Amino acid sequence: MSSLKKQFLTGVVYSVGAKYIGLFVQLVITGILSRILKPDDFGIVAIATVFILFFTLLGEVGIGAAIIQNKMLSPKEIQSIFSFSIYIGITLAFVFFLLSGKIADFYNRPELERICRLLSLNILFASFNVVLNALLLKEKKFRFIALRTLLIQIISGIIGIAAAYAGLKTYALILYAISASASMFIFNYLKSPLSFELFPKLPAIRKIFRYSAYQFLFNFINYFSRNLDKLLIGKFLSPVLLGFYDKAYRLMLLPVENLTYVLAPVIHPFFSDFQQDKQRILENYMKIVRVLALVGFPISVFLHFSAAELISIIFGPQWGAAVRPFEILAWSVGLQIVLSSAGPIFQAANNTRLLFISGLLSAIIMVLGILYGILLPKAWTVSPMVCSPHSLLTSYNAT
């Protein structure tokens, strides 16, 4: 076995191990919280989370993938990029804080203002983590990443559950989210400390601009295609229905995240080492696709026919309205597992422009389907949520 292949498999083992142990931990935490809190608690936080993800995306601006891809960046240049990302994070967190009232007015939920203001801390920490996370991946420190991720899940989960038992309701979910992002920054910075520059050097930013710009545009398009359903359900239906839909959607995503997404952080750093040899990238990628297809499509069938049992066991009988949406969403799992692995290949091949174009075409189809599913039908026979086509189509994942 070649050294590169051995390193790749080692990275996959650490990534998969952490993900599956983390999956068990996450299911336990989610199961406990779902029995303490109400669907409305999850729904109102899901609305805020959509906006948080958007501002987090703006803070990332494609920098992470560009750092992994560019092998010529000096420590000083990385330090300048890190300082630049801090300025971005502070600015975006402040803007989101100011917009919290407008978001609450749009959904006619006054409590959203305080929730969004508290969650602005997540935007801050997410921007701080962009460069630090990228460095860990670039240096292939997969063992540390695996252990860090698992510890963060346990720490934040304990905090969230304790807060829920203390009667903090919605704020238990907020503490859960903030403690996770803050803990990640602490772990990352202790492992790869970087100094802050008051005046970041612009040449360092220009060095990664073209690559990061297309990466950002793809992420931007992908965000809207993957979150428009939640925005519309929260606005035109209700936070309660969004809570049921979001629970079904997140459960559907678990096998995708724990199969494909465990490979993505490993694929890009390793495949970028031979970014000039496109044929080699293709040959190795097709091997990965075959394995993912053999695993993914049987999982789709299993999830569809086990929907009622899975919802009841994991979340409890009060979440029965999430069964039908989950049955429909389950059919998309196989396709998502296969197609979501394409993003890192575009990145490794140094072609984020093509990644953006493919994402744009996919997003157009998805958005049209979402708009039809949410806005046009006049009669909902089981639940409005079941008609959302959000995950019946898929887009490439580039994280």
Residue 295 belongs to domain spanning: 3-387
Instruction: Please state the domain count of the chain.
Output: 1
Q: Is residue 395 part of a domain?
A: no
> Phi/psi at 229 (nearest 5 deg)?
-60, -45
Q: pLDDT band at residue 221, thresholds of 50, 70 and 90?
A: confident
Among 177-191, 284-298, 380-394, the minimum mean pLDDT is found in 380-394
Residue 52 has pLDDT above 50, yes or no: yes
pLDDT the model gives residue 202:
84
Between 206 and 381, the more confident residue is 206
Q: Is residue 292 part of a domain?
A: yes
**Interatomic CA distance for residues 328 and 351, integer angstroms:** 34
Determine, yes or no, domain membership for 364: yes
Check whether 2 has a pLDDT greater than 80. no
Question: Could you tell me if residue 376 is inside a domain?
Answer: yes
Local confidence band at 6 (pLDDT 50, 70, 90 cut-offs) = low
> d(Cα 220, Cα 1) in Å, to the nearest integer?
40
Residue 131 confidence class, pLDDT cut points 50, 70, 90 = very high
Residue 398 lies in a domain: no
Q: Is 147 part of a structural domain of the chain? A: yes
Asked whether residue 234 is assigned to any structural domain, the reply reads yes
**102-116, 290-304, 383-397: lowest mean pLDDT where?**
383-397
Is 392 a member of any domain? no
Given this model, what pLDDT does residue 232 score?
Answer: 75
Please tell me the predicted confidence (pLDDT) of residue 296.
85
Half-sphere exposure of 314 (CA within 13 A, CB side): 22
Please classify residue 71 by burial: count the beta carbons closer than 10 Å to its beta carbon, then call 0-12 exposed, 13-18 middle and 19+ buried: exposed
Residue 318: pLDDT band with limits 50, 70, 90 = confident
Instruction: In whole angstroms, give the CA distance from residue 50 to residue 112.
Output: 12
Q: Classify residue 377 as exposed, middle or buried by CB count within 10 Å of its CB (0-12, 13-18, 19+).
A: exposed
